[in-house]
Amino acid sequence: MTVDSDAPVFASPVDIGTYGPYGPGRVVEDARGWQRPRYPFQGRITADGSSGHRAEPGRYHVWAAWSCGWAQRVAIVRKLKGLEEVITLSYVDDERDGRGWAFRERRGPDPVRGFRLLLEAYEATEPGYAGHISTPVLWDRRTGRIVSNHFDGITADLCTAFDAWAVPGVELRPESLRREIDELNAYLYENVNDAVYRVDGASTQAAYESSRQRVCRALEELDTRLADRRYLLGDVVREPDVRLWPTLARFDLAYNPVGGICRGGLRDFPNLWAYARDLYRLPAFRDTTDFDTYRMSPPPERADSVRHIAVDPVEPDWL
């Protein structure tokens, strides 16, 4: 495929017979089960370009997957800040074979380079790249390379580095709250965002119990916190709200039925449930959400015979 071709190219069909499932050789599996890999590209964008990547309109593109909560955080920030014309964003297909994320008819071609596979962006950045192919990916049109595939830095930079073009007054990471925001983000990551994956991936009964209790305890704490405030830090949506929401949106359809976390699901936390529905009314949250891509069932058999509590999926009733 040549760059700038007009004809869309697709990696169709999904072909697990030929390429196998996505995973083996690409993701880290050891005796403890699935391990979150290191995100190898972690460049940063700054308003003054001191990081090597200056914030400029039209220069950067984000590849996201609809199912991916990490990518959704980037998409929400982009929309809250009103940066849709400044940073382009497009979606990979929902399904994967051994070639990883790919461009197919359902979500459209790659508008940047006409790639068929997201791997091509990784290859262009590091020839022979053998690591995992994850979303989100932030791409620099000027260098023709990936800036970052780590959601944490991408969301932070979209929150702060593009203010010259953003909707005035949308402060997701104001200086004055930075410490509190970073602490809360870290708490959310450890106890909720990443913790839901640890429940599913637990390789002993004890690890399963402690990781599921960690999530339930955190949901209770957040529920209490939200008893007297609209958003996590008061009356205004801030970065931690963006961090939390994608996990809540997927909780009843995926994380809870797959992992067996809390019997009742999100509705057992009334303030948290009301908060999640409140956020869903905001276009930045609603328009970046596709519940149909979240549904997951527990695996028919568990490794290491860890017994998980059975939780039925709950269909969304968000409005």
Which residue, 66 or 273, has its beta carbon nearer to ligand GSH?
A: 66
Which residue, 160 or 269, has its beta carbon nearer to ligand GSH?
A: 160
For the question of residue 197 being annotated catalytic, the response is yes
For the question of residue 68 being annotated catalytic, the response is yes
Kindly state whether residue 243 participates in binding ligand GSH, applying the rule CB under 6 A. Answer: no
Phi–psi pair at 167, nearest 5 degrees:
-60, 125
| CA–CA distance, 277 with 291 (Å, rounded to integer) | 14
* Binding range to ligand GSH, per CB under 6 A, among 8-16, 65-73, 122-130, 206-214: 65-73
Q: Which two tokens stand for residue 305?
A: 């015979």
| CA–CA distance, 286 with 84 (Å, rounded to integer) | 15
Taking the CA atoms of residue 47, residue 50, residue 56 and residue 59 in that order, the dihedral angle to the nearest 10 degrees is -140
Kindly state whether residue 66 participates in binding ligand GSH, applying the rule CB under 6 A. Answer: no
Which residue, 41 or 208, has its beta carbon nearer to ligand GSH?
A: 41
248: three-class secondary structure by DSSP = helix
Tell me the per-residue interface mask from 263 to 282 with ligand GSH, x by CB under 6 A, - otherwise.
--------------------
Exactly one of 22, 60, 68, 91 is catalytic; which is it?
A: 68
Q: Are β-strands 137-140 and 28-30 bridged in parallel, bridged antiparallel, or unpaired?
A: unpaired
Tell me the per-residue interface mask from 127 to 166 with ligand GSH, x by CB under 6 A, - otherwise.
-----xxxxx-------------xxx--------------
Dump strand ranges (E) for 113-235: 137-140, 145-148
Exactly one of 129, 197, 231, 280 is catalytic; which is it?
A: 197
- Ranges within 103-132 binding ligand GSH (CB under 6 A): 132
Using alpha carbons, select from 228, 294, 219 the residue that is nearest to residue 263: 219
* Binding range to ligand GSH, per CB under 6 A, among 64-72, 108-116, 243-251, 302-310: 64-72
- Ranges within 286-315 binding ligand GSH (CB under 6 A): none
Kindly state whether residue 70 participates in binding ligand GSH, applying the rule CB under 6 A. Answer: yes
Which residue, 26 or 308, has its beta carbon nearer to ligand GSH?
A: 26
Q: Which of 9, 27, 47, 112 binds ligand GSH (CB under 6 A)?
A: 27
Minimum CB–partner distance for residue 69 and ligand GSH (Å):
6
# of chain residues touching ligand GSH (CB under 6 A): 15
Respond yes or no on whether the N-terminal peptide bond of residue 313 is cis (omega within 30° of 0). no
Q: Which two tokens stand for residue 170?
A: 């949308």
Which residue, 133 or 233, has its beta carbon nearer to ligand GSH?
A: 133
Kindly state whether residue 19 participates in binding ligand GSH, applying the rule CB under 6 A. Answer: no
Concatenated DSSP letters for 39-89?
Answer: ---B---BTT-TTS-B--TTSEEEEE-TT-HHHHHHHHHHHHTT-TTTSEE
Which residue, 135 or 256, has its beta carbon nearer to ligand GSH?
A: 135
Do residues 78 and 87 lie in contact, with contact meaning Cβ atoms separated by under 8 Å?
Answer: yes
Q: 2-18: string of b/e by CB count within 10 Å (b at 16+)?
A: eeeeeeeebbeebeeee
- Site of interaction with ligand GSH (CB under 6 A): 26-27, 37, 39, 65, 68, 70, 132-136, 150-152
